[in-house]
Copies of this chain bind each other. A is one copy, B any other.
Amino acid sequence: MTNPTAAMLVIGDEILSGRTRDSNMYYLAGELTRIGIRLCEVRVVADEHAAIVAGVNALRGAFDTVFTSGGIGPTHDDITADAIAAAFGVPITYRADAMDLLAKHYERQGLPFNEARQRMARIPDGAQLIENPVSTAPGFTLQNVHVMAGVPSIFQAMLASVLPGLTGGAPLLSQSLRVMRGEGEIAGDFAKLAAEFPELQLGSYPFNTNGVYGTNLVIRGTDAGMLDRAMTRLSAMFA
């Protein structure tokens, strides 16, 4: 596949402790698939400087685009912006335009623009801001890394403003067939079909509903005609 590649770095103790079930990874995966960008790897790390720096450096070197979520709020455990600056070896400063956005926001709300809130205007040098229509505090893009909030509604809003600027590929299409047979029964023929269509990905996902075994067979690819031909063969095999 020649589609553009992406990776995600999820930053958050709350995921690793089991307090919160991830939803941003699932959301991003669906959005990227829709526009033909292939999500190749996700890493989840704790709110720790060294772990964030190592994670972002490994991923930004290996994939076209990297998305991060989490750790850009006003509290002491929000250390993502500093870690990204360190990863790129650039200074981080209070940015005038971000200070201005936030000052106006808190003035409108009648809330003090205190030291903690001002921290959210600290942005690595050379970054572009990502708009936050939910709660103003911006994300930012530094080279191929998009740094976004962990709160799902804000993550989704930021992603909506980042995606149109990315070069996608042919959308990844998928078709699936539900068969009431175990994986072990269909595996041989399914592998032969996979070998016939090397440009497609064929995956099988077993299920067990109320004691009944079956398998969802999924074919993915970017060529709609080829997908149809493979699906016709598949249906004939297991009808």
Contact = CB atoms under 8 A, between A and B. Distances in A.
Contact of A19 (B32, B46, B184, B218): B218
Contact of A16 (B42, B76, B117, B191): B42
A71 B89 CA distance: 38
Contacts of A166: none
A15 B41 contact: no
A26 B33 contact: no
B190 A13 contact: no
Contacts of A191: 75-76, 116
As for how many copies of this chain the complex holds, the number is 2
A75 B29 contact: no
A47 B203 contact: yes
A203 B41 contact: no
B19 A114 contact: no
Interface of A: 13-23, 25-33, 38-47, 51, 73-77, 106, 111-112, 114-117, 119-120, 134-135, 151, 153, 172, 174, 182-188, 190-191, 194-195, 201-208, 218, 220
10 contacts: A13-B203, A14-B203, A17-B220, A18-B39, A22-B25, A42-B43, A73-B206, A75-B187, A111-B182, A116-B187
